[in-house]
Structure 1
């Protein structure tokens, strides 16, 4: 089991990502909706580890609650190198987003069991996963179906810890008005 610190989107951005997931599924490319059986919401992950303990969650809520969390621009259709193919929309990385990411990792430092190296400062690529664990042919088909991808402006409405096995979310911050 892993736990992830995630940024969740407003209804319009959430729906826009779900449309992309559906387009992939319709083309025979298993999207995140298919892989997770609709358990997970569209999101950008800030940090991940085997466990994020209650003391770290309280520190996160306190620290991130004082920051202005910027809107995300999910802009570039891309992939990661490696054997586990991932199709994604990467977020434009600006100083405000990096500040939120840095604050999250400052609050988590030394508290998370088995932190994911992919999410640490300097290695992190902010993105919303569209499909993962797909074949090369599926990756090519996914690009063909979604290119050119329209940018999605995502207002962050919640920050939470997700149990990646069950999809259950403990909301730490809600910015909904």
Structure 2
């Protein structure tokens, strides 16, 4: 599967996203609450690796200076290809630079780094729904707009194995 380097949301924002997932599931829209292993956590991915060595990635990320928490405001809904719908955050001036530094630090080859996470191509997002049919898009938008704008502090970081859902907390926030 994949390993994601993720920023995690503060408690209130995390709970708001989980409530959104549950509401959409009740309305028949598949979300990360039930996708694959069902162990997903609300997050914003800085990088996704298709091949990796967990210890090497952890060491590279934790060697970066601790950048501390980042405040974002989710204020839009995006529809990506293949039926994924996400919340889109504001982009604080330093976040793109942090993402670039992280990708450089982990030294991912073009084969290992998922192309959506190449610096300059990366679109920050928080996935809400997966496999959304066109007829379900208005349901997602209506539910999302009821919680937007959503202020969040990205105050923790983790490596998340997308195949198993195992969360490996990091000691620093890249």
Give the TM-score normalised by the residue count of structure 1: 0.87
Partner of 2:162: 164
Partner of 2:118: 120
CA deviation after TM superposition for structure 1 residue 110, in Å: 3.9
Partner of 2:70: 70
Matched, 1:44 2:29: no
Please point out which of 104, 114, 117 is paired with 1:106: 104
CA gap 1:119/1:3 in 2 versus in 1, 3 angstroms: same
Q: Equivalent residues in 2 for 1:1-150 (5 A)?
A: 1-36=1-36, 38-53=38-53, 54-65=55-66, 67-80=67-80, 82=81, 84-110=82-108, 114-150=112-148
Over residues 122-142 of structure 1, what are the superposed CA-to-partner deviations in whole Å (9 max), with x where a residue is unaligned?
A: 111111100012211122322
Where do 5+ consecutive residues of structure 2 fail to align? none
Distance 1:68 1:158 in 2: 8
CA gap 1:77/1:110 in 2 versus in 1, 3 angstroms: closer
Distance 1:31 1:15 in 2: 15
CA gap 1:111/1:37 in 2 versus in 1, 3 angstroms: closer
Distance 1:118 1:64 in 2: 24
Where do 5+ consecutive residues of structure 1 fail to align? none
How many residue pairs get matched? 172
Give the TM-score normalised by the residue count of structure 2: 0.88
Distance 1:90 1:127 in 2: 5
CA gap 1:136/1:172 in 2 versus in 1, 3 angstroms: same
